[in-house]
Structure 1
Amino acid sequence: MYNGYVKVCAATPKIKVADPRYNANQIMELVKKNSEAGAKIIVFPELCLTGYTCSDLFLQDILLEGALRQLEYIAKETKDRDVLVFVGLPFMKEGKLYNVAAGLANGKILGLVPKSYIPNYSEFYEARHFTKGRKKIEYVNINGQEGIPFSTNILFRCTNQKDLLIGVDICEDLWVPVPPSCQHVLKGATVIVNLSASDETTGKDMYRRELVRNHSAKLICGYLYADAGEGESSTDLVFGAHNIIAENGTVLAEAERFQNETVISELDLERLVNERRRMSTFPAAEEMEQEYVYADFYYKGLEETVLTRFVDKAPFVPGSKSDRDRRCREILTIQALGLKKRLEHTNAKTVVVGISGGLDSTLALLVIAKAFDLLKLERKNIIAVTMPCFGTTDRTYQNAVNLTLKLGATLKEIPISEEVTMHLDSIGHDMKTHDVTYENAQARIRTLVLMNMANLYNGLVIGTGDLSELALGWATYNGDHMSMYGVNASVPKTLVKYLVLYYAETVVDEELSKLLLDILDTPVSPELLPPKEGAISQRTEDIVGPYELHDFFLYYVMRFGYRPSKIFVLASYAFGGTYDKNVIYKWLTTFYKRFFSQQYKRSCLPDGPKVGSVAVSPRGDLRMPSDAVAEVWLEDLRKLEDKYGVGF
């Protein structure tokens, strides 16, 4: 396990009904194969040592004794394998038969968990054979191994991986109103395994999948669902081996039904623990009326886990076009409704916005137009101000002008070159020195113009800066950093592009669509330095780094609180083939330095609507001291230099 990941597996052996020896051999073949592939937890179906469909054969001593012998065999085989295995079998205790899940590791039977809810309806008649499990903690002896805990309240605890604590559901336990796993997670379980024998009927697979997915989300846990499959009796039922691995509402791996397919993935334990810590409504592990017993085990090796799970390089952007379009439509609505409310509250009939021909101001203007339409206000009261200066290119200027006119807003052109020159001269700055003073003077003059025009027209200045710029502090303090309402403040740059693209693809006006596509094709630039041969000379991503990387970093820093070294590993997986490790290391270091040093700008942000799970408003999602230092985070990054051969 590395950086909090544990490789897990849900497997379905092809069994023979009532043949424990054959079934145990099939199970061990899968244990060997998947443990050699790195799996640390392997879950098999309910009653898999005998078969779920043995019916009245469960009343035969010889079958029960055979299952116990094979359980002992599998347990011993785990001694030389670094793996925790869960298998299902029938178990006799004090004259009653129980449907149990056995946890096996380190050559021992760690514990037996009996099924809590015994279905006895429709095609199920388990109460004919099995007794409901109890929470009371008891101990049993099996073939010479003494003191094996027997209870529904057993948690399997890894002694050398602090975040790995496993609870057990058995099939029907998941389908009831309050599954046992709800109590397990309240006691601290981060992973739930479910040994199941869920037969197939039309449409049941969709319900089952959503049940597993939603349950993992509600409990903020990893959920391993291992289902019975081919080999079970087909007298009345067919089983599909619908194996599922889910984590906090996301299905990581899912078997193709009717194939007895093994699924394998990695659970991110740190993500689960961090999410529970972040959510104040998730209760702390607590004392309960019925106490728990811990079945301890350990892993000999905690080597780096090779990831097979998908790591999305654009976590803010849905992968499928239909989901992306829905997300864009929703975000544009949230932005417009936020502005609509602010305009209603202030009784403002006019807004002023700086328009540059770039992506952010384009999105802001589109949102403003939508808000005005919702309020039934005339778009001519949108005052779009273009303020050409030293770095303005003809392409961006023309796009700004044409976009304003296309949307029916009022265009104001106010060149600021002379005003900036006079200002720099008045403070004794050499115009030939193109430094930060030269650049920021332009941004602050522009903001001064917008603010005063807002007073002139009795309106509001609408900010255009996006979330990615705020995270990096790529905004001039009291320049483009300031407005009266910032509609893009929680929209990351990678998503800004898709919002504008969505508008371009759905707008009826073909000329407007072409115009928006050209804006999308324009390099991101503040245009504060003079052009070279008429083209943009200052590219933002050459200076601060690629926004797709920074948005990736931002997501995992803010959403899950990951340490820098873990984010580096994830970025290396996600962007492998696009950026080498040195490039990722360089810009991740830049991200942390800027993120910490620029907090003072975020501490006094204007109001703006939150649209997603990550935002940096000081009134909500990020309450961070402006004078915090990044040394602890940078030190964690420096540890990567020797391991991966990265550095400057």
Structure 2
Amino acid sequence: RELVRSQSARCLAAYAYASAGPGESSTDLVFSGHSLIAENGALLAESDRFSFATTMVVADIDVERLLNERRRSNSFAAAAGFTPRVLSFRLADTVADSALRPISATPFVPADDSERSARCREIFAIQTTGLARRLRHTGGSKAVLGISGGLDSTLALLVTVKAFDRLGLAHAGIEAVTMPGFGTTARTRGNAERLANLLGVSLKVIPIAAAVRQHFRDIGHDETTHDITFENAQARERTQILMDLANRNGALVVGTGDLSELALGWCTYNGDHMSMYGVNSGVPKTLVQYLVAWCAEAEFSGEIAKILADIVDTPVSPELLPPKANGEINQITEETIGPYLLHDFFLYQVVRLQAPPAKILFSARQAFAGRYSDGEILRWLKLFYQRFFAQQFKRSCLPDGPKVGSVALSPRGDWRMPSDASANLWLNELDRLKADS
């Protein structure tokens, strides 16, 4: 909107703009169908966005006024030949301990409340439109997804409910499946089941412990060995259940994984990594929390809002390891892979700004001053690079899902990276930075 308006002012012209609409493919992008007409800096007409109906905007353009404005302008003249004057000077490298400009610790999350609310509304609309477009394309009226009582699956459920509302479909066509396993806690399971019931979706409870134990016997794995096999077998069992339910009911499996998990490869290959449409694949973890909180304030109320608030306060965990003796979550994701606050900062710096490790360290010092030491920043930045490179093979076969911002990791568009790329250059620089710090 501002680009069209300001360009019409700069050119002393009328600017009519029409973008592609939601009828386009939603494989990796969602088009809003935004149409605008501006004249000399004034917005004359604007359409609604994300509407599946064909829209048109009409406005009167005062051509004579524009011609007069151009005559009055001293700077609007025929472009004359211009030879630039080049001044040569030397600019030496400057060593600085701090920067004058502020550096946000949450580049994906606006600090201003109203701006953050507007961003959440925009992203939620992109997610719901993308899923609705995919359902319309397939001719389906049913969806299935796994719910755990965690942030990601909760957001995916809310998106699915609103997509069904947009299409005029009954919530009963959404099959929300909770699949308690060895690490499931009463808090997360209770929140998942209560939320599903309040939203009016079809709730299905399928415990997976017996099936996974049989699988362990089949492959000769000791159940008391809580290794990667123990964890991933549960994730793949859950995905198998969802896929089979989708086949039986003619439904679409809605993926729940977010952008941060994709960057770190924090998902089970051919487990929760796989779906038929990943609505959260463009949303970083730090923003997921705000989106769920925004939904509690702007889209829902009452008991649903209370449950959403408790989900926001629940520690992030895959719940694949047995809980503590008191029933609380025993597996905290950020204790294993580091703070998502840092990883989302690294993700933005690496992918969006293409910053080298030294610059990322400098920026992180400013953004997290007094919160994380150089040693902590370097530790988790090293892990980020290691996982970001090593886990590309999961992103190379990523399901479809909508891009919602300036950073995306789809192998079909924004991020074309070989699965066998080496991180050695970046890791070597990190070692030098650690030695110098």
Is TM (by shorter chain) over 0.5?
Answer: yes
Residue 134 of structure 2 corresponds to 342
Kindly indicate whether the alpha-carbon contact (under 8 Å) linking 2:375 and 2:434 is maintained by their aligned counterparts in 1. Answer: no
The answer to whether 1:581 aligns with 2:403 is: no
Question: What SS does structure 2 have at the residue aligned with 1:352?
Answer: strand
* Amino acid aligned to 1:371: A
Residue 246 of structure 2 corresponds to 454
Residue 283 of structure 2 corresponds to 491
Residue 303 of structure 1 corresponds to 95
Aligned length: 363
Match of 1:353 among 128, 145, 162: 145
Q: What runs of 5+ residues in structure 1 fail to find an aligned partner?
A: 1-174, 179-206, 209-287
Q: Scaled by the length of structure 2, what TM-score is found?
A: 0.81
Residue 185 of structure 2 corresponds to 393
Q: How far 1:308 moved relative to its partner?
A: 1.6
For residues 493 and 301 of structure 1, do their structure 2 counterparts lie closer, same or farther at Cα, with a shift above 3 Å needed? Answer: closer
Q: How far 1:289 moved relative to its partner?
A: 6.7
Match of 2:119 among 302, 306, 327: 327
Distance 2:97 2:11 in 1: 36
Distance 2:353 2:400 in 1: 24
1:382-441 C-alpha deviation (Å, 9 max, x unpaired): 000000010000000100100101111000000010000000110010111000000000
Alignment of 1:515-534 (within 5 A): 515-533=307-325, 534=327
Match of 1:366 among 141, 155, 158: 158
**4+ long deviations beyond 6 Å:** none
For residues 293 and 598 of structure 1, do their structure 2 counterparts lie closer, same or farther at Cα, with a shift above 3 Å needed? Answer: same
Distance 1:490 1:176 in 2: 34
Distance 2:262 2:98 in 1: 34
Kindly indicate whether the alpha-carbon contact (under 8 Å) linking 2:257 and 2:278 is maintained by their aligned counterparts in 1. Answer: yes
1:209-257 C-alpha deviation (Å, 9 max, x unpaired): xxxxxxxxxxxxxxxxxxxxxxxxxxxxxxxxxxxxxxxxxxxxxxxxx
Distance 1:300 1:563 in 2: 19
For residues 349 and 300 of structure 1, do their structure 2 counterparts lie closer, same or farther at Cα, with a shift above 3 Å needed? Answer: closer
Distance 1:491 1:385 in 2: 22
**Structure with max Cα Rg:** 1
Residue 62 of structure 2 corresponds to none
The answer to whether 1:546 aligns with 2:336 is: no
Distance 1:300 1:330 in 2: 43
Distance 2:92 2:254 in 1: 59
The answer to whether 1:314 aligns with 2:106 is: yes
* Amino acid aligned to 1:565: A
Q: What runs of 5+ residues in structure 2 fail to find an aligned partner?
A: 1-8, 13-39, 42-79
Q: How far 1:639 moved relative to its partner?
A: 1.6
Residue 167 of structure 2 corresponds to 375
Considering Cα pairs closer than 8 Å and 6+ residues apart, tell me whether 1 or 2 has the greater RCO: 2
Distance 2:308 2:245 in 1: 26
Match of 2:207 among 409, 415, 422: 415
Alignment of 1:258-269 (within 5 A): none
Distance 1:572 1:552 in 2: 12
Alignment of 1:495-514 (within 5 A): 495-514=287-306
Q: How far 1:304 moved relative to its partner?
A: 2.5
Q: Which protein has the bigger strand share?
A: 1
Question: What SS does structure 1 have at the residue aligned with 2:88?
Answer: strand
Match of 1:605 among 391, 398, 413: 398
Question: What SS does structure 2 have at the residue aligned with 1:461?
Answer: strand
Q: How far 1:303 moved relative to its partner?
A: 2.9
For residues 289 and 305 of structure 1, do their structure 2 counterparts lie closer, same or farther at Cα, with a shift above 3 Å needed? Answer: farther
The answer to whether 1:592 aligns with 2:424 is: no
Q: How far 1:339 moved relative to its partner?
A: 0.3
Question: What SS does structure 2 have at the residue aligned with 1:556?
Answer: helix
Question: What SS does structure 2 have at the residue aligned with 1:296?
Answer: coil
The answer to whether 1:563 aligns with 2:356 is: yes
Distance 1:402 1:574 in 2: 39
Residue 35 of structure 2 corresponds to none
